[in-house]
């Protein structure tokens, strides 16, 4: 969440809050003092609250942009939305951050770079994040885990020989947290 500059009181919405990426995003944002709205289906609402979410929006009954009010960050780990859809709820200088690479997220991210420069960061912007191994980040995460402020949510475990079943579970988009492949 470094790209978002999350701090105390930052208003953050996490789409896909019950999934492998989103369950960490909710906890990282809370650990930094953000006010978090989790977007997930109703059966996962309690889970999202246990992860620390202050509010939950059930995407099956209402689009989150109708209920969240102004947000500083929308973190999208699902990719059903786009910068264009989310921009109306972003505060001046607010950020739409997606983990889903694609033509629209790449273009929006490139265009935002230029717009941010031209407007000195006063307009909302779009960002595509790709995971890169980073020792400093991992140290911070390990510290949060040691303090019990961030936990790994495990959906299921599979031996390596059942990697296909693990992949099918992943493709189902129903996982609650991470899917673990165990290597003996
Ligand atoms: N950029 C990167 O470096 C990077 C790194 C890792 C992953 N990714 C990508 O990030 C995406 C998320 O990965 P993941 O592991 O978090 O996926 P995941 O764990 O499979 O996500 C499953 C979760 O998504 C929720 N969900 C499904 N449709 C939704 C919707 N319309 N709105 C809100 N929530 C919805 C489900 O909740 P419900 O059952 O409540 O619907 C479920 O809990 C994937 O596309 C993955 O490829 C990118």
pLDDT in tens, 42-77: 999 999 999 999 999 999 999 999 999 999 999 999
Say if residue 99 is in the same domain as residue 166. Answer: no
109 and 181 assigned to the same domain: no
- Residue 56: inside a domain, yes or no? yes
Residue 148 lies in a domain: no
pLDDT of residue 146: 97
Residue 21 Cα to ligand 1 midpoint, Å, equals 6
Residues 99 and 11 in one domain: yes
pLDDT score recorded for residue 115: 85
In the DSSP assignment, the letter for residue 133 is -
Q: Is residue 184 part of a domain?
A: yes
- Give the model's pLDDT for residue 1: 53
Is residue 99 located within the same domain as residue 159?
Answer: no
What pLDDT shows up at residue 71? 98
Q: Is 136 inside any structural domain?
A: no
Q: In what order do the strands lie in the sheet with 11-15?
A: 55-58, 35-40, 11-15, 71-76, 90-98, 125-128
Residues 12, 99, single domain; the answer is yes
Mutational test site, ligand 1, from 2, 3, 19, 172, max ligand atoms within 8 Å of CB: 19
**Are 105 and 171 in the same domain?**
no
Strands in the chain per DSSP E: 11-15, 35-40, 55-58, 71-76, 90-98, 125-128, 154-159, 178-182
In whole angstroms, give the CA distance from residue 118 to residue 26.
Answer: 31
List the domain range (segments joined by +) for residue 27. Answer: 2-128
Q: Which token pair is 17?
A: 């809050």
Clarify whether residues 78 and 158 are in a common domain. Answer: no
Ligand 1: which atom is nearest the Cα of residue 79? 45
Asked whether residue 72 falls in the same domain as residue 31, the answer is yes
The reported pLDDT for the residue numbered 184 is: 83
The CATH number for 23's domain is 3.40.50.720
Query: Does some domain include residue 71?
Result: yes
| Cβ atoms of 79 and 102 closer than 8 Å | yes
d(CA 35, CA 73): 10
β-strands 35-40, 11-15: how paired? parallel
Can you list the residues of the chain whose pLDDT is less than 50? none
The pLDDT of residue 84 is: 94
Assessment of whether the complete model's pTM goes beyond 0.85? yes
Residues 122 and 52 in one domain: yes
Residues with CB under 6 A from ligand 1: 15-16, 18-22, 39-41, 44, 59, 77-78, 80, 99-100, 129-131, 170, 173-176
Look at residue 151 in the predicted model and tell me its pLDDT: 97
Specify if 145 maps to a domain.
no
Question: CB of 46 within 8 A of CB of 109?
Answer: no
Residue 64 lies in a domain: yes
- Our count of domains for the chain comes to 2
Let me know whether 97 and 173 are in one domain: no
Same domain, 106 and 44: yes
């Amino acid at each position: 969440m470094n790209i978002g500059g999350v701090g105390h009181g930052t208003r953050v919405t996490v789409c896909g809050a019950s999934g492998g990426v989103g369950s960490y995003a909710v906890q990282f944002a809370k650990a930094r003092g953000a006010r978090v709205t989790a977007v997930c289906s109703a059966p996962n609402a309690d889970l999202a609250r246990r992860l620390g979410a202050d509010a939950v929006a059930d995407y099956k009954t209402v689009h989150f942009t109708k209920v969240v009010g102004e947000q500083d960050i929308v973190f999208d780990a699902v990719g059903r939305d786009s910068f264009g859809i989310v921009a109306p709820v972003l505060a001046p200088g607010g950020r739409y951050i997606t983990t889903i690479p694609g033509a629209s997220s790449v273009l929006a991210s490139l265009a935002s770079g230029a717009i941010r420069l031209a407007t000195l960061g006063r307009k909302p912007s779009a960002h595509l994040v790709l995971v890169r191994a980073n020792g400093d980040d991992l140290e911070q995460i390990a510290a949060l885990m040691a303090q019990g402020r961030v936990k790994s949510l495990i959906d299921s475990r599979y031996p390596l020989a059942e990697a296909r079943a693990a992949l099918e579970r992943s493709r189902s988009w129903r996982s609650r947290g991470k899917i673990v492949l165990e290597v003996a």
